[in-house]
Structure 1
Amino acid sequence: MRSAAVVGTGLIGTSIALALRGRGVTTYLIDTDPEAARTAAELGAGIAERPRQPVELAVIAVPPQYVAAALREHQLADLAEDFTDAASVKELPQREAARTGCDLTRFVGGHPMGGREQSGPLAARDDLFHGRPWVLTPSPESRAQTLARAEELAGLCGARPVVMCQAEHDRAVALTSHAPHVVSSLLAGRLLHGEPSQLGLAGQGLADVTRLAGGSAELWTDILGSNAPAVADVLAEFTRDLHQVVDALRGLGSAREPEQRRAHADRLSTALVRGIQGRARIPARGTSTTAAPGLGPALATAPRGV
Protein backbone atom coordinates (compact mmCIF):
# COMPACT_ATOMS: atom_id res chain seq x y z
CA MET A 1 0.00 0.00 0.00
CA ARG A 2 1.39 3.36 -1.01
CA SER A 3 -1.30 5.82 0.07
CA ALA A 4 -4.03 6.00 2.69
CA ALA A 5 -6.29 8.48 4.47
CA VAL A 6 -7.44 8.42 8.08
CA VAL A 7 -10.72 10.15 8.89
CA GLY A 8 -10.78 10.90 12.61
CA THR A 9 -7.53 11.62 14.43
CA GLY A 10 -8.30 10.43 17.93
CA LEU A 11 -6.39 7.69 19.72
CA ILE A 12 -7.23 4.92 17.24
CA GLY A 13 -7.02 6.93 14.03
CA THR A 14 -3.74 8.58 14.94
CA SER A 15 -2.25 5.26 16.08
CA ILE A 16 -3.18 3.73 12.72
CA ALA A 17 -1.68 6.70 10.88
CA LEU A 18 1.54 6.54 12.90
CA ALA A 19 1.91 2.86 12.07
CA LEU A 20 1.30 3.47 8.37
CA ARG A 21 3.78 6.33 8.22
CA GLY A 22 6.32 4.09 9.93
CA ARG A 23 5.90 1.62 7.07
CA GLY A 24 6.40 4.32 4.42
CA VAL A 25 2.74 4.81 3.46
CA THR A 26 1.80 8.36 2.44
CA THR A 27 -1.02 9.12 4.88
CA TYR A 28 -3.50 12.00 4.88
CA LEU A 29 -5.28 13.12 8.05
CA ILE A 30 -8.86 14.42 8.04
CA ASP A 31 -10.88 15.53 11.06
CA THR A 32 -13.87 17.75 11.75
CA ASP A 33 -11.58 19.35 14.34
CA PRO A 34 -8.67 20.80 12.33
CA GLU A 35 -6.61 21.22 15.50
CA ALA A 36 -6.78 17.47 16.18
CA ALA A 37 -5.54 16.74 12.66
CA ARG A 38 -2.72 19.27 13.03
CA THR A 39 -1.71 17.73 16.37
CA ALA A 40 -1.59 14.28 14.77
CA ALA A 41 0.49 15.67 11.91
CA GLU A 42 2.94 17.27 14.35
CA LEU A 43 3.35 13.83 15.94
CA GLY A 44 4.47 12.49 12.56
CA ALA A 45 1.21 10.70 11.71
CA GLY A 46 0.83 12.19 8.23
CA ILE A 47 -0.31 15.21 6.24
CA ALA A 48 -3.19 17.25 7.64
CA GLU A 49 -5.02 17.83 4.37
CA ARG A 50 -7.13 16.04 1.78
CA PRO A 51 -5.27 14.22 -1.01
CA ARG A 52 -5.49 15.66 -4.51
CA GLN A 53 -6.44 12.28 -5.96
CA PRO A 54 -8.04 9.17 -4.45
CA VAL A 55 -5.84 7.17 -2.11
CA GLU A 56 -5.88 3.39 -2.08
CA LEU A 57 -7.64 2.98 1.27
CA ALA A 58 -9.46 5.30 3.68
CA VAL A 59 -9.96 4.36 7.34
CA ILE A 60 -13.08 5.83 8.96
CA ALA A 61 -11.90 6.13 12.57
CA VAL A 62 -14.95 7.77 14.16
CA PRO A 63 -17.45 6.59 16.83
CA PRO A 64 -20.01 4.00 15.68
CA GLN A 65 -22.93 6.38 15.25
CA TYR A 66 -20.96 8.53 12.78
CA VAL A 67 -19.45 5.78 10.60
CA ALA A 68 -22.20 5.58 7.98
CA ALA A 69 -22.46 9.35 7.50
CA ALA A 70 -18.68 9.74 7.24
CA LEU A 71 -18.45 6.80 4.84
CA ARG A 72 -21.10 8.26 2.54
CA GLU A 73 -19.56 11.74 2.67
CA HIS A 74 -16.09 10.57 1.74
CA GLN A 75 -17.24 8.07 -0.87
CA LEU A 76 -19.18 10.85 -2.61
CA ALA A 77 -16.07 13.05 -2.39
CA ASP A 78 -14.01 10.25 -4.01
CA LEU A 79 -11.49 10.21 -1.15
CA ALA A 80 -10.35 6.63 -1.75
CA GLU A 81 -10.73 3.59 -3.94
CA ASP A 82 -11.65 1.42 -0.94
CA PHE A 83 -12.87 2.04 2.60
CA THR A 84 -12.80 0.41 6.00
CA ASP A 85 -13.60 1.62 9.51
CA ALA A 86 -12.26 1.12 13.03
CA ALA A 87 -15.42 1.26 15.15
CA SER A 88 -15.91 -1.28 17.93
CA VAL A 89 -19.48 -2.12 16.80
CA LYS A 90 -20.18 -3.60 13.38
CA GLU A 91 -23.87 -4.45 12.81
CA LEU A 92 -25.39 -0.99 13.36
CA PRO A 93 -22.91 0.95 11.17
CA GLN A 94 -23.33 -1.64 8.40
CA ARG A 95 -27.14 -1.32 8.50
CA GLU A 96 -26.91 2.47 8.46
CA ALA A 97 -24.43 2.39 5.59
CA ALA A 98 -26.84 0.27 3.56
CA ARG A 99 -29.81 2.48 4.48
CA THR A 100 -28.03 5.70 3.46
CA GLY A 101 -26.90 4.35 0.09
CA CYS A 102 -23.17 3.83 0.66
CA ASP A 103 -21.30 1.77 -1.91
CA LEU A 104 -20.92 -1.44 0.08
CA THR A 105 -18.81 -3.10 -2.61
CA ARG A 106 -15.96 -0.77 -1.62
CA PHE A 107 -16.37 -1.12 2.15
CA VAL A 108 -15.23 -3.71 4.69
CA GLY A 109 -15.95 -3.19 8.37
CA GLY A 110 -12.93 -3.34 10.64
CA HIS A 111 -12.10 -3.24 14.34
CA PRO A 112 -8.49 -3.18 15.59
CA MET A 113 -8.56 -4.86 19.01
CA GLY A 114 -6.30 -2.47 20.83
CA GLY A 115 -6.79 0.67 22.85
CA ARG A 116 -6.00 2.67 25.96
CA GLU A 117 -8.08 4.40 28.61
CA GLN A 118 -6.72 7.74 27.39
CA SER A 119 -8.18 9.42 24.33
CA GLY A 120 -7.07 11.91 21.69
CA PRO A 121 -4.09 12.04 19.33
CA LEU A 122 -1.56 12.70 22.09
CA ALA A 123 -2.32 9.25 23.55
CA ALA A 124 -1.60 7.52 20.21
CA ARG A 125 1.16 4.92 19.77
CA ASP A 126 2.51 3.40 16.59
CA ASP A 127 2.66 -0.05 18.25
CA LEU A 128 -0.83 0.02 19.74
CA PHE A 129 -2.01 -2.92 17.61
CA HIS A 130 1.15 -5.05 17.57
CA GLY A 131 0.25 -8.70 18.01
CA ARG A 132 -3.44 -7.91 18.44
CA PRO A 133 -6.38 -9.29 16.43
CA TRP A 134 -7.84 -6.91 13.84
CA VAL A 135 -11.38 -8.06 13.09
CA LEU A 136 -12.69 -7.64 9.53
CA THR A 137 -16.39 -8.07 8.77
CA PRO A 138 -16.92 -8.12 5.01
CA SER A 139 -20.50 -8.12 3.79
CA PRO A 140 -21.74 -10.21 0.83
CA GLU A 141 -21.33 -7.08 -1.30
CA SER A 142 -17.67 -6.44 -0.39
CA ARG A 143 -15.30 -6.97 -3.30
CA ALA A 144 -12.14 -9.03 -2.92
CA GLN A 145 -9.82 -6.06 -3.48
CA THR A 146 -11.37 -4.14 -0.59
CA LEU A 147 -10.94 -7.06 1.80
CA ALA A 148 -7.36 -7.58 0.65
CA ARG A 149 -6.51 -3.95 1.32
CA ALA A 150 -8.13 -4.06 4.76
CA GLU A 151 -6.07 -7.18 5.55
CA GLU A 152 -2.95 -5.40 4.34
CA LEU A 153 -3.77 -2.43 6.60
CA ALA A 154 -3.96 -4.71 9.62
CA GLY A 155 -0.63 -6.30 8.72
CA LEU A 156 1.07 -2.93 8.26
CA CYS A 157 -0.08 -2.01 11.77
CA GLY A 158 1.43 -5.19 13.19
CA ALA A 159 -1.94 -6.84 13.83
CA ARG A 160 -3.42 -10.23 12.87
CA PRO A 161 -6.42 -10.00 10.51
CA VAL A 162 -9.37 -12.07 11.74
CA VAL A 163 -12.45 -12.44 9.51
CA MET A 164 -15.83 -12.93 11.17
CA CYS A 165 -19.46 -11.95 10.68
CA GLN A 166 -20.80 -8.70 12.11
CA ALA A 167 -23.23 -10.22 14.63
CA GLU A 168 -20.59 -12.61 15.96
CA HIS A 169 -18.16 -9.74 16.40
CA ASP A 170 -20.68 -7.66 18.35
CA ARG A 171 -21.50 -10.56 20.69
CA ALA A 172 -17.79 -11.18 21.22
CA VAL A 173 -16.90 -7.59 22.12
CA ALA A 174 -19.97 -7.32 24.36
CA LEU A 175 -18.42 -10.09 26.47
CA THR A 176 -14.74 -9.15 26.21
CA SER A 177 -14.80 -5.34 26.10
CA HIS A 178 -18.12 -3.56 26.46
CA ALA A 179 -19.58 -5.29 29.54
CA PRO A 180 -16.20 -5.14 31.35
CA HIS A 181 -16.17 -1.39 30.81
CA VAL A 182 -19.58 -1.06 32.44
CA VAL A 183 -18.57 -3.25 35.39
CA SER A 184 -15.36 -1.25 35.86
CA SER A 185 -17.30 2.03 35.71
CA LEU A 186 -19.93 0.89 38.20
CA LEU A 187 -17.30 -0.26 40.68
CA ALA A 188 -15.39 3.00 40.27
CA GLY A 189 -18.64 4.89 40.82
CA ARG A 190 -19.00 3.21 44.23
CA LEU A 191 -15.81 5.00 45.28
CA LEU A 192 -17.77 8.26 45.30
CA HIS A 193 -19.34 6.98 48.50
CA GLY A 194 -16.02 6.10 50.15
CA GLU A 195 -14.50 8.11 52.97
CA PRO A 196 -11.05 9.59 52.38
CA SER A 197 -9.67 7.34 55.10
CA GLN A 198 -11.01 4.31 53.24
CA LEU A 199 -9.71 5.41 49.83
CA GLY A 200 -6.30 5.98 51.39
CA LEU A 201 -5.99 2.21 51.73
CA ALA A 202 -6.53 1.57 48.00
CA GLY A 203 -3.85 -0.52 46.30
CA GLN A 204 -2.89 -1.60 42.81
CA GLY A 205 -5.71 -4.14 42.65
CA LEU A 206 -8.36 -1.44 42.79
CA ALA A 207 -6.47 0.64 40.23
CA ASP A 208 -6.32 -2.37 37.88
CA VAL A 209 -10.01 -3.20 38.19
CA THR A 210 -11.15 0.41 37.67
CA ARG A 211 -8.66 1.34 34.92
CA LEU A 212 -11.24 1.00 32.16
CA ALA A 213 -13.49 3.53 33.89
CA GLY A 214 -11.13 6.30 32.80
CA GLY A 215 -12.38 6.18 29.21
CA SER A 216 -14.42 8.96 27.61
CA ALA A 217 -18.03 8.84 28.86
CA GLU A 218 -19.27 10.38 25.60
CA LEU A 219 -17.50 7.83 23.43
CA TRP A 220 -18.53 4.89 25.58
CA THR A 221 -22.15 5.98 25.68
CA ASP A 222 -22.08 5.78 21.89
CA ILE A 223 -20.30 2.41 21.85
CA LEU A 224 -22.57 0.80 24.44
CA GLY A 225 -25.71 2.26 22.88
CA SER A 226 -24.69 0.96 19.46
CA ASN A 227 -24.30 -2.58 20.84
CA ALA A 228 -27.00 -2.32 23.50
CA PRO A 229 -28.81 -5.71 23.14
CA ALA A 230 -25.61 -7.80 23.23
CA VAL A 231 -24.18 -5.85 26.17
CA ALA A 232 -27.46 -6.09 28.06
CA ASP A 233 -27.48 -9.87 27.61
CA VAL A 234 -23.99 -10.22 29.10
CA LEU A 235 -24.79 -7.89 32.00
CA ALA A 236 -28.03 -9.74 32.75
CA GLU A 237 -26.09 -12.99 33.15
CA PHE A 238 -23.46 -11.18 35.22
CA THR A 239 -26.22 -9.79 37.44
CA ARG A 240 -27.52 -13.29 38.14
CA ASP A 241 -24.02 -14.40 39.14
CA LEU A 242 -23.63 -11.32 41.33
CA HIS A 243 -26.92 -11.96 43.08
CA GLN A 244 -25.77 -15.49 43.89
CA VAL A 245 -22.57 -14.14 45.46
CA VAL A 246 -24.54 -11.55 47.45
CA ASP A 247 -26.87 -14.28 48.73
CA ALA A 248 -23.89 -16.42 49.73
CA LEU A 249 -22.28 -13.53 51.60
CA ARG A 250 -25.52 -12.64 53.35
CA GLY A 251 -25.86 -16.28 54.32
CA LEU A 252 -22.33 -16.41 55.70
CA GLY A 253 -23.07 -13.33 57.76
CA SER A 254 -26.24 -14.71 59.31
CA ALA A 255 -25.87 -18.52 59.41
CA ARG A 256 -25.44 -20.08 62.81
CA GLU A 257 -25.13 -23.75 61.94
CA PRO A 258 -21.82 -25.09 60.58
CA GLU A 259 -23.59 -26.93 57.75
CA GLN A 260 -25.33 -23.74 56.63
CA ARG A 261 -22.05 -21.82 56.68
CA ARG A 262 -20.34 -24.55 54.66
CA ALA A 263 -23.10 -24.45 52.05
CA HIS A 264 -22.81 -20.68 51.65
CA ALA A 265 -19.00 -20.86 51.63
CA ASP A 266 -19.13 -23.51 48.90
CA ARG A 267 -21.29 -21.24 46.71
CA LEU A 268 -18.87 -18.36 47.22
CA SER A 269 -15.86 -20.56 46.53
CA THR A 270 -17.48 -21.88 43.35
CA ALA A 271 -17.87 -18.32 42.04
CA LEU A 272 -14.22 -17.55 42.80
CA VAL A 273 -13.01 -20.75 41.15
CA ARG A 274 -15.06 -19.97 38.04
CA GLY A 275 -13.28 -16.63 37.93
CA ILE A 276 -9.89 -18.30 38.01
CA GLN A 277 -10.94 -20.71 35.28
CA GLY A 278 -12.41 -17.96 33.12
CA ARG A 279 -9.34 -15.76 33.42
CA ALA A 280 -7.16 -18.67 32.34
CA ARG A 281 -9.06 -18.76 29.04
CA ILE A 282 -7.86 -15.29 28.00
CA PRO A 283 -5.33 -15.88 25.19
CA ALA A 284 -1.82 -14.63 25.78
CA ARG A 285 -0.99 -11.51 23.78
CA GLY A 286 0.13 -12.42 20.28
CA THR A 287 -1.37 -15.91 20.16
CA SER A 288 -3.60 -16.95 17.28
CA THR A 289 -7.37 -16.82 17.51
CA THR A 290 -9.10 -20.16 17.06
CA ALA A 291 -12.74 -20.92 16.59
CA ALA A 292 -14.65 -22.61 19.38
CA PRO A 293 -17.30 -25.23 18.55
CA GLY A 294 -20.63 -23.72 17.69
CA LEU A 295 -19.42 -20.16 17.21
CA GLY A 296 -20.44 -20.05 13.58
CA PRO A 297 -18.56 -18.50 10.64
CA ALA A 298 -14.82 -18.52 10.19
CA LEU A 299 -12.42 -16.91 12.60
CA ALA A 300 -9.73 -17.28 9.98
CA THR A 301 -6.45 -15.53 10.57
CA ALA A 302 -4.96 -14.05 7.42
CA PRO A 303 -1.43 -12.72 7.99
CA ARG A 304 -1.31 -10.99 4.62
CA GLY A 305 0.75 -7.83 4.55
CA VAL A 306 2.71 -8.55 7.73
Structure 2
Amino acid sequence: MKRRSFLAASSALIVSPIVLAKNSDWPGREIRLLHPFTAGDQTDVSARIIAAAMSERLGVSIVVQNKPGAGGVSALRELGSSKPDGHTIGYISNGNVSLDAIFQRYDLLNLIDPIARLADSAQTLYARSSKGYHSLSDMLEDIKRNPKKVSLGVGGLGAPSHVMWEMLATEFEPNLDVNLIPYKSATEATQAMLGGYIDAGVSFLTGVVPYIQKPGAIQVLAISSKERNRLVPQLPTISESIGKDFVFMNWNGLCAPKGTPPEVSRKLFDAAMYAVKSERYQKFCADYGVIINPSPNSAVFRSEIEIALKQERALAKAKNINQGGI
Protein backbone atom coordinates (compact mmCIF):
# COMPACT_ATOMS: atom_id res chain seq x y z
CA MET A 1 0.00 0.00 0.00
CA LYS A 2 2.80 2.38 0.90
CA ARG A 3 4.61 1.59 -2.36
CA ARG A 4 1.46 2.30 -4.41
CA SER A 5 0.94 5.61 -2.59
CA PHE A 6 4.57 6.55 -3.21
CA LEU A 7 4.28 5.72 -6.93
CA ALA A 8 1.08 7.75 -7.28
CA ALA A 9 2.72 10.76 -5.63
CA SER A 10 5.82 10.33 -7.78
CA SER A 11 3.65 10.24 -10.94
CA ALA A 12 2.03 13.53 -9.92
CA LEU A 13 5.46 15.08 -9.49
CA ILE A 14 6.53 13.84 -12.90
CA VAL A 15 3.44 15.22 -14.70
CA SER A 16 3.49 18.60 -12.99
CA PRO A 17 6.75 19.92 -14.56
CA ILE A 18 5.47 18.92 -18.03
CA VAL A 19 2.29 20.96 -17.52
CA LEU A 20 4.34 23.88 -16.25
CA ALA A 21 6.65 23.62 -19.22
CA LYS A 22 3.70 23.80 -21.62
CA ASN A 23 2.41 26.92 -19.89
CA SER A 24 5.87 28.48 -19.83
CA ASP A 25 6.04 28.05 -23.62
CA TRP A 26 2.85 30.10 -24.05
CA PRO A 27 2.05 31.71 -26.39
CA GLY A 28 3.06 29.09 -28.90
CA ARG A 29 1.00 30.41 -31.79
CA GLU A 30 -1.37 33.16 -32.95
CA ILE A 31 -3.97 34.42 -30.46
CA ARG A 32 -7.58 35.19 -31.39
CA LEU A 33 -9.31 38.19 -29.78
CA LEU A 34 -13.08 37.81 -30.12
CA HIS A 35 -14.82 41.18 -30.39
CA PRO A 36 -18.62 41.14 -29.87
CA PHE A 37 -19.52 44.00 -32.22
CA THR A 38 -19.12 44.99 -35.86
CA ALA A 39 -15.86 46.16 -37.39
CA GLY A 40 -15.20 49.88 -37.50
CA ASP A 41 -16.97 51.14 -34.39
CA GLN A 42 -15.18 52.83 -31.50
CA THR A 43 -14.77 49.66 -29.43
CA ASP A 44 -13.45 47.78 -32.46
CA VAL A 45 -10.79 50.44 -33.04
CA SER A 46 -9.87 50.23 -29.36
CA ALA A 47 -9.62 46.43 -29.46
CA ARG A 48 -7.34 46.53 -32.51
CA ILE A 49 -4.98 49.04 -30.90
CA ILE A 50 -4.81 46.91 -27.75
CA ALA A 51 -4.24 43.74 -29.80
CA ALA A 52 -1.37 45.33 -31.75
CA ALA A 53 0.39 46.49 -28.59
CA MET A 54 -0.09 43.14 -26.85
CA SER A 55 1.36 41.43 -29.92
CA GLU A 56 4.54 43.47 -29.49
CA ARG A 57 4.79 42.40 -25.87
CA LEU A 58 4.04 38.69 -26.41
CA GLY A 59 5.85 38.19 -29.69
CA VAL A 60 2.94 36.59 -31.57
CA SER A 61 0.12 37.94 -33.72
CA ILE A 62 -3.19 38.73 -32.06
CA VAL A 63 -5.98 38.69 -34.62
CA VAL A 64 -9.22 40.52 -33.84
CA GLN A 65 -12.25 38.55 -35.01
CA ASN A 66 -15.58 40.39 -35.00
CA LYS A 67 -18.41 38.20 -33.75
CA PRO A 68 -21.49 40.44 -33.66
CA GLY A 69 -24.87 39.04 -32.72
CA ALA A 70 -27.36 38.92 -29.86
CA GLY A 71 -25.83 41.91 -28.09
CA GLY A 72 -22.49 40.20 -27.56
CA VAL A 73 -23.89 36.81 -26.53
CA SER A 74 -22.54 35.02 -29.62
CA ALA A 75 -18.95 36.08 -28.96
CA LEU A 76 -19.09 35.20 -25.27
CA ARG A 77 -20.53 31.76 -25.90
CA GLU A 78 -17.85 31.02 -28.49
CA LEU A 79 -15.22 32.23 -26.04
CA GLY A 80 -16.67 30.10 -23.25
CA SER A 81 -16.55 26.97 -25.42
CA SER A 82 -12.96 27.62 -26.56
CA LYS A 83 -10.00 25.70 -25.16
CA PRO A 84 -8.74 27.56 -22.05
CA ASP A 85 -5.12 27.69 -23.14
CA GLY A 86 -4.73 31.44 -23.66
CA HIS A 87 -4.90 31.31 -27.46
CA THR A 88 -8.47 32.64 -27.54
CA ILE A 89 -9.37 35.72 -25.52
CA GLY A 90 -12.33 38.07 -25.54
CA TYR A 91 -13.22 41.75 -25.38
CA ILE A 92 -15.81 42.42 -22.69
CA SER A 93 -17.83 45.43 -21.54
CA ASN A 94 -20.36 46.39 -18.90
CA GLY A 95 -23.04 45.64 -21.50
CA ASN A 96 -22.16 41.94 -21.20
CA VAL A 97 -22.65 42.20 -17.43
CA SER A 98 -26.07 43.81 -17.90
CA LEU A 99 -27.27 41.04 -20.24
CA ASP A 100 -26.33 38.43 -17.65
CA ALA A 101 -27.74 40.37 -14.69
CA ILE A 102 -31.03 41.36 -16.31
CA PHE A 103 -31.88 38.61 -18.77
CA GLN A 104 -29.79 35.65 -17.52
CA ARG A 105 -28.75 34.79 -21.10
CA TYR A 106 -25.61 33.12 -19.79
CA ASP A 107 -23.73 32.65 -16.52
CA LEU A 108 -20.93 35.12 -17.20
CA LEU A 109 -18.43 34.15 -14.51
CA ASN A 110 -18.85 30.46 -15.33
CA LEU A 111 -17.99 31.22 -18.96
CA ILE A 112 -14.97 33.48 -18.48
CA ASP A 113 -12.00 34.37 -16.35
CA PRO A 114 -11.70 38.18 -16.18
CA ILE A 115 -8.21 39.35 -17.17
CA ALA A 116 -8.06 43.15 -17.06
CA ARG A 117 -10.24 46.22 -17.05
CA LEU A 118 -8.81 48.70 -19.56
CA ALA A 119 -10.73 51.97 -19.71
CA ASP A 120 -13.97 53.81 -18.97
CA SER A 121 -16.24 56.06 -21.01
CA ALA A 122 -19.20 58.19 -20.01
CA GLN A 123 -22.85 58.37 -20.96
CA THR A 124 -24.64 61.64 -21.66
CA LEU A 125 -28.21 62.85 -21.45
CA TYR A 126 -29.67 65.09 -24.15
CA ALA A 127 -32.99 66.62 -25.16
CA ARG A 128 -34.66 68.34 -28.09
CA SER A 129 -33.64 71.99 -27.98
CA SER A 130 -37.26 72.97 -28.50
CA LYS A 131 -38.09 71.52 -25.07
CA GLY A 132 -36.36 74.57 -23.60
CA TYR A 133 -34.51 72.79 -20.81
CA HIS A 134 -31.64 74.82 -19.35
CA SER A 135 -30.26 71.91 -17.34
CA LEU A 136 -30.72 68.23 -16.58
CA SER A 137 -32.65 69.21 -13.46
CA ASP A 138 -35.17 71.02 -15.67
CA MET A 139 -35.73 67.84 -17.68
CA LEU A 140 -36.08 65.64 -14.59
CA GLU A 141 -38.54 68.05 -12.99
CA ASP A 142 -40.60 68.09 -16.20
CA ILE A 143 -40.72 64.29 -16.17
CA LYS A 144 -41.73 64.38 -12.50
CA ARG A 145 -44.56 66.86 -13.16
CA ASN A 146 -45.77 65.06 -16.29
CA PRO A 147 -45.54 61.28 -15.81
CA LYS A 148 -45.26 59.27 -19.06
CA LYS A 149 -45.45 62.46 -21.14
CA VAL A 150 -41.72 62.87 -21.87
CA SER A 151 -40.37 60.24 -24.29
CA LEU A 152 -36.78 59.11 -23.76
CA GLY A 153 -34.79 56.89 -26.12
CA VAL A 154 -32.14 54.39 -25.04
CA GLY A 155 -29.97 51.95 -26.98
CA GLY A 156 -31.97 48.84 -26.13
CA LEU A 157 -33.77 47.25 -23.22
CA GLY A 158 -31.09 46.39 -20.66
CA ALA A 159 -28.39 48.27 -22.58
CA PRO A 160 -25.95 50.45 -20.59
CA SER A 161 -27.87 53.59 -21.57
CA HIS A 162 -31.06 52.03 -20.18
CA VAL A 163 -29.34 50.81 -17.00
CA MET A 164 -27.87 54.26 -16.41
CA TRP A 165 -31.25 55.92 -16.85
CA GLU A 166 -32.95 53.57 -14.39
CA MET A 167 -30.20 54.17 -11.82
CA LEU A 168 -30.45 57.94 -12.27
CA ALA A 169 -34.24 57.92 -12.10
CA THR A 170 -34.08 55.93 -8.86
CA GLU A 171 -31.50 58.32 -7.39
CA PHE A 172 -33.42 61.47 -8.34
CA GLU A 173 -36.97 60.32 -7.63
CA PRO A 174 -37.94 56.67 -6.99
CA ASN A 175 -41.20 56.97 -8.93
CA LEU A 176 -39.93 59.04 -11.85
CA ASP A 177 -42.03 57.82 -14.78
CA VAL A 178 -40.78 58.46 -18.29
CA ASN A 179 -42.09 57.14 -21.60
CA LEU A 180 -39.06 54.94 -22.28
CA ILE A 181 -38.45 53.87 -25.88
CA PRO A 182 -35.74 51.22 -26.47
CA TYR A 183 -34.05 51.40 -29.89
CA LYS A 184 -31.60 48.97 -31.46
CA SER A 185 -28.70 51.26 -30.58
CA ALA A 186 -27.92 54.61 -28.98
CA THR A 187 -27.11 55.94 -32.46
CA GLU A 188 -30.59 54.98 -33.67
CA ALA A 189 -32.10 56.80 -30.69
CA THR A 190 -30.14 59.93 -31.59
CA GLN A 191 -31.42 59.70 -35.16
CA ALA A 192 -34.96 59.42 -33.81
CA MET A 193 -34.35 62.61 -31.86
CA LEU A 194 -33.23 64.41 -35.01
CA GLY A 195 -36.40 63.16 -36.70
CA GLY A 196 -38.55 64.60 -33.92
CA TYR A 197 -39.78 61.24 -32.66
CA ILE A 198 -38.55 61.49 -29.06
CA ASP A 199 -38.05 64.27 -26.50
CA ALA A 200 -34.84 63.10 -24.83
CA GLY A 201 -32.24 60.36 -24.85
CA VAL A 202 -29.12 58.76 -23.40
CA SER A 203 -26.00 58.25 -25.50
CA PHE A 204 -22.30 57.45 -25.21
CA LEU A 205 -20.21 60.61 -25.30
CA THR A 206 -18.75 60.44 -28.81
CA GLY A 207 -22.24 59.98 -30.25
CA VAL A 208 -23.20 63.53 -29.24
CA VAL A 209 -19.90 65.47 -29.28
CA PRO A 210 -20.87 67.30 -32.53
CA TYR A 211 -24.03 68.60 -30.84
CA ILE A 212 -22.06 69.82 -27.82
CA GLN A 213 -19.55 71.66 -29.96
CA LYS A 214 -22.20 73.08 -32.29
CA PRO A 215 -25.64 73.20 -30.61
CA GLY A 216 -28.66 72.79 -32.84
CA ALA A 217 -31.66 70.47 -32.73
CA ILE A 218 -30.12 68.54 -29.83
CA GLN A 219 -29.16 70.03 -26.48
CA VAL A 220 -26.74 67.87 -24.48
CA LEU A 221 -27.43 68.41 -20.79
CA ALA A 222 -24.97 66.42 -18.67
CA ILE A 223 -22.31 63.71 -18.58
CA SER A 224 -22.23 60.71 -16.23
CA SER A 225 -18.55 60.84 -15.23
CA LYS A 226 -17.27 61.95 -11.81
CA GLU A 227 -15.53 64.96 -13.31
CA ARG A 228 -16.03 66.99 -16.48
CA ASN A 229 -14.46 65.45 -19.54
CA ARG A 230 -11.48 67.22 -21.09
CA LEU A 231 -12.91 66.63 -24.56
CA VAL A 232 -16.01 68.71 -23.70
CA PRO A 233 -15.18 70.69 -20.53
CA GLN A 234 -18.25 72.90 -20.97
CA LEU A 235 -20.58 69.95 -20.27
CA PRO A 236 -21.57 69.66 -16.57
CA THR A 237 -21.64 66.34 -14.75
CA ILE A 238 -24.87 64.76 -13.60
CA SER A 239 -23.72 65.27 -10.00
CA GLU A 240 -23.34 69.01 -10.60
CA SER A 241 -26.76 69.15 -12.22
CA ILE A 242 -28.83 67.33 -9.61
CA GLY A 243 -26.84 68.18 -6.47
CA LYS A 244 -26.27 64.52 -5.60
CA ASP A 245 -23.31 62.22 -6.18
CA PHE A 246 -24.03 60.14 -9.26
CA VAL A 247 -21.47 58.40 -11.48
CA PHE A 248 -22.05 55.80 -14.17
CA MET A 249 -19.27 54.66 -16.47
CA ASN A 250 -19.17 52.24 -19.34
CA TRP A 251 -16.06 50.11 -19.19
CA ASN A 252 -14.25 47.59 -21.37
CA GLY A 253 -11.70 44.91 -20.68
CA LEU A 254 -10.29 41.53 -21.60
CA CYS A 255 -11.23 38.03 -20.52
CA ALA A 256 -10.30 34.41 -21.26
CA PRO A 257 -12.22 31.13 -21.19
CA LYS A 258 -12.99 29.77 -17.75
CA GLY A 259 -10.13 27.61 -16.50
CA THR A 260 -7.27 29.40 -18.25
CA PRO A 261 -4.04 28.60 -16.32
CA PRO A 262 -3.18 31.35 -13.80
CA GLU A 263 0.33 31.85 -15.19
CA VAL A 264 -1.12 32.41 -18.67
CA SER A 265 -3.68 34.85 -17.26
CA ARG A 266 -0.87 36.76 -15.56
CA LYS A 267 1.03 37.07 -18.84
CA LEU A 268 -2.13 38.29 -20.57
CA PHE A 269 -2.67 40.83 -17.80
CA ASP A 270 0.92 42.08 -18.07
CA ALA A 271 0.57 42.41 -21.85
CA ALA A 272 -2.70 44.35 -21.42
CA MET A 273 -1.03 46.76 -19.00
CA TYR A 274 1.76 47.27 -21.53
CA ALA A 275 -0.88 48.01 -24.17
CA VAL A 276 -2.77 50.67 -22.20
CA LYS A 277 0.51 52.54 -21.73
CA SER A 278 1.26 52.57 -25.46
CA GLU A 279 1.39 55.94 -27.18
CA ARG A 280 -1.18 54.93 -29.76
CA TYR A 281 -3.74 53.83 -27.15
CA GLN A 282 -3.15 56.95 -25.06
CA LYS A 283 -3.83 59.11 -28.12
CA PHE A 284 -6.96 57.13 -29.01
CA CYS A 285 -8.37 57.64 -25.51
CA ALA A 286 -7.59 61.36 -25.54
CA ASP A 287 -9.26 61.79 -28.95
CA TYR A 288 -12.43 59.96 -27.89
CA GLY A 289 -12.75 61.25 -24.33
CA VAL A 290 -12.03 57.78 -22.93
CA ILE A 291 -10.53 57.50 -19.44
CA ILE A 292 -7.77 54.92 -19.03
CA ASN A 293 -8.59 53.05 -15.82
CA PRO A 294 -6.86 49.66 -15.67
CA SER A 295 -7.59 47.24 -12.86
CA PRO A 296 -4.62 46.62 -10.52
CA ASN A 297 -4.96 42.87 -11.08
CA SER A 298 -7.38 40.26 -12.43
CA ALA A 299 -8.85 39.49 -9.00
CA VAL A 300 -9.97 43.10 -8.54
CA PHE A 301 -11.54 43.09 -12.01
CA ARG A 302 -13.45 39.92 -11.15
CA SER A 303 -14.66 41.49 -7.90
CA GLU A 304 -15.89 44.57 -9.80
CA ILE A 305 -17.90 42.35 -12.13
CA GLU A 306 -19.40 40.45 -9.18
CA ILE A 307 -20.50 43.72 -7.56
CA ALA A 308 -21.99 45.02 -10.82
CA LEU A 309 -23.92 41.77 -11.34
CA LYS A 310 -25.39 42.00 -7.86
CA GLN A 311 -26.38 45.66 -8.26
CA GLU A 312 -27.97 45.21 -11.66
CA ARG A 313 -29.86 42.07 -10.66
CA ALA A 314 -31.39 44.07 -7.82
CA LEU A 315 -32.22 46.92 -10.24
CA ALA A 316 -33.83 44.53 -12.72
CA LYS A 317 -35.99 43.05 -9.98
CA ALA A 318 -37.00 46.45 -8.58
CA LYS A 319 -37.85 47.84 -12.03
CA ASN A 320 -39.27 44.60 -13.45
CA ILE A 321 -36.96 45.00 -16.46
CA ASN A 322 -36.36 41.33 -17.16
CA GLN A 323 -40.10 40.76 -17.47
CA GLY A 324 -40.47 43.48 -20.06
CA GLY A 325 -41.45 46.13 -17.53
CA ILE A 326 -40.03 49.63 -17.75
Same fold by TM-score greater than 0.5:
no
TM normalised by structure 2 equals 0.29
In proportion to residue count, which structure has more strand? 2
Q: TM-score, normalised by structure 1?
A: 0.31
